[in-house]
A = this chain, B = another copy of it.
Amino acid sequence: RYGKAELENQVGAATGLAYTTAGGDTLTIEVALTPGSGKLTLTGKLGDVMKESAQAAFSYIRTRAEELNIDPEFNKKNDVHVHVPEGAVPKDGPSAGITMATALISALTEVPVKKEVGMTGEITLRGRVLPIGGLKEKSMSAHRAGLTHIIMPKENEKDLDDIPESVRKDLTFIPVSHLDEVLKHALVGKK
């Protein structure tokens, strides 16, 4: 069932949308926390831009730990591993930023991510959500995977009318400009 929407809400995992030369695809961001001392490990054949994106998400969370209900000392007590299956497929770009942030926050707060939600958007150090490419292809792959809600950058609203009506009618699009809005729609029990 890999590549399909999850059957249950997951803690420490979130569904992103990727855009490659071969079209759109879904990907899962997995986060594991282990007792440790602040080491951040990034695996899954990730390119440099995607790794930096994870670092930005991580720093944002560290600066906002208290507001996010995360132990501000978490970084001293844990190692953090972010992995993106499938391990042989190269992945790059900044558009998984908000997905990484969401998976990290889910793992650190133990609040599950809603299984029906896919998301795409670059994150900045201040939690802002920047526009991405390939919304059409990403939406179609989300649709194929059985997702029903797409969190996307507000600045990409102009691209919504490029998505085929047959796909658009089954999907709820949630335009956001800050990570706070992402979390409100992606985490169970928020809103």
Residues of A within 8 A of B (CB): 1-2, 10, 12-13, 28, 30-36, 41, 43-45, 48-49, 52-53, 55-56, 59-60, 62-63, 72, 75, 79, 81, 83, 85-88, 93-94, 97, 122, 124-126, 128, 130-131, 155, 177
Contacts and interface: CB of A to CB of B under 8 A. Distances in A.
Contacts of A125: 30-32, 81, 83, 85
Contact of A34 (B2, B59, B124, B130): B59
By secondary structure, the A interface counts as mixed
A59 B32 contact: yes
A95 B94 CA distance: 24
A39 to B, nearest CB: 10
> How many copies of the shown chain assemble into the complex?
6
Given A49-B45, A62-B34, A87 B126 contact: no
Contacts of A130: 2, 85-86
A157 to B, nearest CB: 12
Contacts of A55: 41, 43, 81, 83
11 contacts: A1-B177, A2-B155, A12-B126, A32-B60, A32-B63, A33-B63, A36-B75, A45-B49, A59-B83, A83-B125, A87-B93
